[in-house]
Structure 1
Amino acid sequence: MKESDSNPQIGQVVSINKGRDTGQFAIVIQLIDERFVLIADGDKRKFDRPKKKNIQHLECCDYISPEVRSSMLDTGKVTNGKLRWALGKFMDDVLELQKGDEFDGEGRCN
């Protein structure tokens, strides 16, 4: 399994590859330093209690939610509803890509 070599950005969807939440998706809400980010999904991991994650344990997807990104850059916060909505939109897009065999079908991003 390939570890992520790209630096995550605020609002980017990531696939969790290590730990209790393996196989789930979340959104980067803060860059701590070159090794760590804070992620949240708006459901299990709310905005006010994000998970600190090593970026080597994440796989960055080629999807950045413009709504989450602009909200974070403008106000420094985002609603849990917007995080859930952005992940739902991402999953809809992934399911469309899965039909075209651009997605590996195992909850990982290509």
Structure 2
Amino acid sequence: MPDGTIIAGHIVLSIAGRDAGHRYVVLGWYKPQTLLVADGRGRKVTSPKKKNVKHIKKLNSIADNVAEALHGGKIPTDEVIRQALAHIEVTG
């Protein structure tokens, strides 16, 4: 459930499914146990992936520019999401 542990802008890692090992940015909650995630490439902001909370692992990173855009009521671009994930892959 949306309990505050995973918020919009968090970087998560898929641990189950065909996309296991893939990093995403959380765009928000779809249902109590389902997140909306995007990577800016295969899963764009216009068609985010629905991912069960049980099938992801929260990384200790937040895409600040994505979080600011989402909390400000704006939709981040796919380019911004790709840049945030590229930075995490290099440092994380």
Q: Same fold (TM over 0.5)?
A: yes
Q: What is the aligned-residue RMSD (CA, Å)?
A: 1.3
- 1:29 aligns to what? 27
Deviations 1:53-92 (A, max 9, x none): 1110000001011100001111331100000000011111
Equivalent pairs counted in the alignment come to: 89
C-alpha deviation, 1:31, in angstroms: 1.6
Consecutive unaligned residues in structure 2, runs of 5 or more? none
Alignment partners' CA distance in 2, 1:44 and 1:33: 22
**2:80 aligns with one of 71, 74, 82:** 82
- Normalising by structure 2, report the TM-score: 0.90
2:82 partner amino acid: R
Give the 3-state SS of the residue equivalent to 1:89 in structure 2. helix
Whichever of the two has the greater Rg, that structure is: 1
2:23 partner amino acid: F
Name the structure with the higher strand share.
2
Runs of 4 or more off by more than 6 Å in structure 1? none
- 2:49 aligns to what? 51
**2:16 aligns with one of 18, 30, 38:** 18
2:74 partner amino acid: G
Consecutive unaligned residues in structure 1, runs of 5 or more? 1-5, 95-110
Give the 3-state SS of the residue equivalent to 1:88 in structure 2. helix
Alignment partners' CA distance in 2, 1:22 and 1:62: 18
**Identity value in percent:** 28
